[in-house]
Homo-oligomer: A and B are copies of this chain.
Amino acid sequence: MARRILGIDPGTGICGFGVVDFVKHKQPHMVTAGVVTTPAHTPLADRLLDIYESITQIIEETHPDEVSIEKLYFNQNITTGITVAEARGVVILVARQHELPIYEYTPLQIKQTLTGYGRAKKKDMQEAVRQYLNMREIVKPDDAADALAAAITHALMTRAAYQSA
């Protein structure tokens, strides 16, 4: 059974995305990854429209089965948290408009799942993503790698359910 998962690392300035194919007994395969960025001082409304249109396009081009999105945790900077939540609202809307199931994971869950260590450093996470997808080099930029990490986390967290299916 094959699953294509779209991972999202939400943000209004930079929103990371990564699409991965998971096929039983096969090496997971990165379909695409990247970031939606808007220049500094772009009005929030323009940024949200950009995210809406870009994520719509990615979904319509790659046809994922599920969406995995990084969830906010409440120790981080609140002002940043608010803008991330605004972007998250738009991404979740787009996924829902395409009738895709949406799964949310905290940064702690993602780190724990990929490295076995909830306080893993960014470099260790990027290396785990690289190894997991059997790539030569780590994925750049950081937010694209974070989005792939969200997709991989969802695949690993729900593996048992799929294998028994």
On chain B, the residues within 8 Å of A89 by CB distance are 48, 85-90
Query: Chain A binding site: helix, strand, loop or mixed by DSSP?
Result: helix
Q: Are A93 and B92 in contact (CB under 8 A)?
A: no
Asked if residues A86 and B81 are in contact (CB atoms below 8 Å), the reply is: no
Integer count of this chain's copies in the complex: 2
A96 at the interface (CB under 8 A from B): yes
Instruction: Note all chain B residues with C-beta closer than 8 A to A46.
Output: 96
A148 within 8 A of B: no
Which of A21-29, A72-80, A116-124 is near enough to bind chain B? A72-80
Enumerate chain A interface residues (CB-CB to B < 8 A): 44-46, 48-49, 52, 72, 74, 78-79, 81-83, 85-90, 92-93, 95-97, 102
